[in-house]
Amino acid sequence: MLDIRDKRILEELQGDATVAVADLADTVGLSVSACWRRIKALEDHGLIARRVALIDRRRANVGTTVFVGVRTSRHSIEWLEAFRKAISDIPEIVEAYRLTGEIDYLLRLVVPSVEIYDAVYKQLITRLDFTDITSFIAMEEMKFTTAIPLRYA
């Protein structure tokens, strides 16, 4: 179970993982060495999975987000693994989920244009057979965060 200082450390790091340990220690009311030990323990326990740079999608020319719902009539481990392999080397697919309900898989893609999405779509349909692929082009990003709620931790 995390205490209040661990949660504060995580909240601060979710906002800026490049913050100096000395500054973070001051913010959460710990010595530098105690703060560093807590960060190390959070990493060792896997709560901090990795530290990354968040790239501005529009400045990187991938400002269009497309959600793709995939349905299949095949529900076997072999098909699942083939699907996992089919999407693994397509960098425009930044998230993929297996779902319950009417849609079997949900993909999130970031692309510069609908034409590039169409090229990715063609890659997918040449790799596997699908029952249905439904695309949803995002008109507006209303909320985006990589920060997770820590009140349950």
Contact status, residue 130 vs residue 114, Cβ threshold 8 Å: no
3 state DSSP class of 101:
coil
pTM of the model: 0.89
3 state DSSP class of 129:
coil
Q: Tell me: pLDDT of 1 over 90.
A: no
pLDDT of residue 93: 98
Any residues with CB less than 8 A from the CB of 115 and at least 6 apart, and which? none
Could you tell me which CATH number the domain at 64-137 has? 3.30.70.920
The CATH 3.30.70.920 domain(s) of the chain lie at 64-137
| Size (the chain), residues | 153
Please state which architecture CATH assigns to domain 4-44. Answer: Orthogonal Bundle (1.10)
Each residue's pLDDT tens digit, 68-116: 999 999 899 999 999 999 999 999 999 999 999 999 999 999 999 999 9
Each residue's pLDDT tens digit, 103-145: 999 999 999 999 999 999 999 999 999 999 999 999 999 999 9
Contact status, residue 57 vs residue 116, Cβ threshold 8 Å: no
The CATH 1.10.10.10 domain(s) of the chain lie at 4-44
